[in-house]
A and B are shown apart, each in its own frame.
Chain A
Amino acid sequence: MNSYSSKNGATFSQEDIYPETTSGDEKPFSSFAELFREKQKVLGEAYGRKITKEEIGLMLGFDYESFRKIVNKHKEKQTKKRDCIIAICAVLGCDASETNEALRLYGFPELDQYHLRDEIIWDKLVEQSDSPVSVDEINEALTAACFTPLDISNHRNQSQPKIKSCPYKLVRRHFQCTIEGVGRCREPDCFLDLRYDVDCFYNMRTCMEYLGQDRRFEICIRYEESRKNEPDNIYQTGIRRRISPKRKRYIVYTYPTEECESELHEYDRIDETGEFRDCFLEIEKAEQKEKKRLCDTVNDTRNYGSRISAKVIDSELHIFCETYNCDIPELSEYFLMDFCGGDYTLYILNQSCFMQMYLSEEQYEQAYGSPPAFRILHLRRTWDDAWGSKAGKLNDPVSDQYSCEEEIEDSAYEARDIGIFETYGENVITEVRLKAYKAMKQQIDHLTGRLRTGKAHICSRELLGDAADSLIAAYFGLPELDDIAYTFSDGTQLMLSAENIRDAFELGMHTVDEAAAFQQVHGSLKINEILP
């Protein structure tokens, strides 16, 4: 039985009772560096890879050398900022008592629960004990309570890497971001897999012009892609860009003068650009900022009203939709319904999780800097084996979940303490959830019908036109679309025909491994045979 349905009603209370940490196994740390190393190791185990000191330092805005000195504390108090140690502990996933120990080891006063600012920080650490808390989350809570955010840096010794100024004078800057394929929203379910693909449809271009040494220079970063003889539609373009991501080139163009010809230099790496290196760094920073803005827009279903899609996740076909609770927006909650294997599950979330289902774990982490929290639910059985009860505490955005209307109706009879709202005995919230359940189920059923009849597609080979087979082959990393004898790790074999690969493409799969695994589980790759 899923542990979420065992919660008492729809509890949105901010006060949760956590099990007390066991003593006995813990040994005191002799230094802050030792505590840091231990927590760094635990964090790495949680994410399944080594987390370097440099990565942690970058999260906090420190360059490696400064951060190393802060952690190792060669001299007396390498940082004078108590908030800095708190921020380091938060990012490492220390709970409140570990943070206090860290502060004590560093020679700072511990968190004082009777001091409201400290109490806010304490609550944030306790709320997500054993999992990292970002500095932004803590600062948001502090700012909301009208306290100053965490003050991390020693202002005299700026930890951020200095960008040396260019020897030339900047005379013009032009930034352009074009969004292609806006028309794809008119038929949103004709190619679901490309609908929210940020990488495929956003082009940015920043030019800067400099004057110096009696010459005028224009620098820009260009993203090159292979040209086609005939124009592609947006879906062909999208798939091609996935097969061959655009190549980044650093361009320096020197304008001609009466004495000199124009010059054009193109570089593959920023380190080759010489005196313009820092200028290109600024361009990259501006583009990253714009890309982050776009990614953040895509990451929140509130910007779309409602979204729906379908995807194969771990060899199971999911059809899922998400909407913001516009009926009671003060609750700041999202409804996400997932349909898989004939079961509908409605999740009540405190953040938008649509993209966490839409993207793979690697894609999400690359775009948003942290692994998806919601995806952990789908790996629950595996993680529970490794982590026991801690699996549920890994940044879980789910406040409640229901698998049928009856569960929602039954929850109306349990008292609700809804956080910043007073306890409310009547059923408006239940009614809103029931309404959402029915509406979203209808939406999912509608899309399921359209997928079954071929009116909607996760990926559509029809829209790829005559180039479909060659594009699909390249997409799967195959020289051509032909029969494949696939061998599993246990030695069993499976024949995958060209038609199987086409069907796998239509299911939104990217690799032959995925196709083989799905075929083995379900016996078919045809969507109208898989859908219940």
Chain B
Amino acid sequence: MYEILSRKDCRMIFDPLRFARPEHNLALLYEPDTIRFEQAEIELNDEGQNKRLSVLRAEDSGRTYYNAGFPHFDSRQKSRAKSYYLFASAHAEPQFFAPEQKCKYHELFSEMDAAEESVRNRIYSHLLDSRNYGKRLSARIIDNKPHIFMETYNYDDPESGEYYQMDYCGGFYTFTVSDRSRFMEMYLPRRRYAQIFGGCNATVTERYSSASDITDAIARIRQNGSYEDRRMLPRMAHRIQAFHRMQADIQMMQRKLKNGKAHIRSREQFCSCDAGAKYVAAMEIMMLYHAEKAFHCENLNHFDWQEKCVEFYRRSQKRLFFGFVTGEQSGSAEKIW
């Protein structure tokens, strides 16, 4: 039998890229896939030999900050289920165990899983609540339409427990009030949200399309409102202020997206501004969308691409970026936003 010497908890890997230039990769700022974890480890003494037991997750294999949010980008990699591996020494090959495999360490597998799930849940729970962030602002293409959206908590009247959201799409603003944070429901595709966080359960209590809608609501309450409704009037005044603040923030983000100071995803995450290295960005983006065949370059290697792709990339950079996202064959950042 073995003796447990020490335990190392599952820990989040702190990634400075998330903080470097947050507006350059809006799609990555709150993306759960960018959060990586260092797996739990158990050090044990098994019949006089020190060994280390840890977990290997297939979905973490090959995952980087850059491909976060995309399905497993390298289909050539053999997919592996989760396994547990045991290191006996630095020179020996690790021994792998499948989760269902019966072995003398089997009872430790569920312990490590529970510890990891607990850390993951705790970290993910922060993502779900905009109260932890002050305000959150992002942009995404939803149903082929560009949206810029924002959420903040009603910090002026926290007893209300209200969250304010604003969504800008097609020239129209929609301001909603809800009892829970709904930012991640807009930030992630619905299926991914359900997969990671379960069902949506926030209730939209009010919806306005302009500040004057709120003003009209206030006027109606003043005229015909009940005693309870009149008590809400100061809270309604907060909503008008919030509407204007959020509208200003969204307009600023819109300008930044138009003039390239902000991006949903920036190609600069793959490379520096060095022109010679831009082919790397083109190739990486190609692979993210599994588009090698469409561009007839399945068999090309990096060096063949160098000359061809730099020029192609320079000519078609904006079209290339928005052609895949919107489905249109042409489009520019200025036109989209």
Contacts and interface: CB of A to CB of B under 8 A. Distances in A.
A330 B114 contact: no
Interface string A161-185: 0000000000000001011001101
Contacts of B126: 329-330, 332
Contacts of A183: 234
Given A144-B121, A324-B132, A420-B9, A178 B158 contact: no
Interface string B151-178: 0010111110100000000000000000
Nearest to B13: A422
Interface size class of A (residues with CB under 8 A): 20 to 34
A422 B38 contact: yes
Contacts of B156: 185
Interface size class of B (residues with CB under 8 A): 35 or more
A304 B158 contact: yes
A297 B160 CA distance: 10
B118 interface: yes
Interface string B87-99: 0000000000000
A169 to B, nearest CB: 26
Given A302-B131, A330-B126, A179 B14 contact: no
B11 A421 contact: yes
A145 interface: yes
Interface string B112-141: 001101110111001000011110000000
Contacts of B132: 302, 324, 326, 329
Interface in B12-68: 12-14, 16, 19, 38
B246 to A, nearest CB: 15
A424 interface: yes
B111 A116 contact: yes
A114 B4 contact: yes
A327 interface: yes
A465 interface: no
Contacts of B123: 330, 420
A304 B160 CA distance: 12
Interface in A318-337: 324, 326-330, 332
B159 A297 contact: yes
A294 interface: yes
A17 interface: no
B131 A145 contact: no
Which interface residue of B132, B161, B235 has the most chain A CB atoms within 10 A?
A: B132
A404 interface: no
Nearest to B19: A428
A420 B11 CA distance: 4
A424 B228 contact: no
A426 interface: yes
A326 B131 CA distance: 8
Interface in A393-429: 418-422, 424, 426, 428
A426 B20 CA distance: 12
A426 B16 contact: yes
A168 to B, nearest CB: 27
A421 B14 contact: yes
A145 B114 contact: yes
Nearest to A201: B159
Interface string A352-395: 00000000000000000000000000000000000000000000
A15 to B, nearest CB: 10
Contacts of B234: 182-183
A267 to B, nearest CB: 27
B231 interface: yes
A421 B158 contact: no
A303 interface: yes
A294 B134 contact: no
A512 to B, nearest CB: 34
A87 B114 CA distance: 23
A185 B11 contact: no
B130 to A, nearest CB: 10
B19 A146 contact: no
Given A303-B153, A305-B155, A176 B228 contact: yes
15 contacts: A116-B114, A144-B121, A146-B114, A146-B117, A146-B118, A178-B231, A297-B159, A304-B155, A327-B19, A332-B126, A419-B11, A420-B9, A420-B11, A420-B119, A421-B14
What are the 9 tightest A-B residue pairs by CB atom distance, in nearest-first order? A329-B132, A303-B158, A182-B234, A305-B155, A326-B134, A144-B118, A421-B14, A329-B126, A424-B14
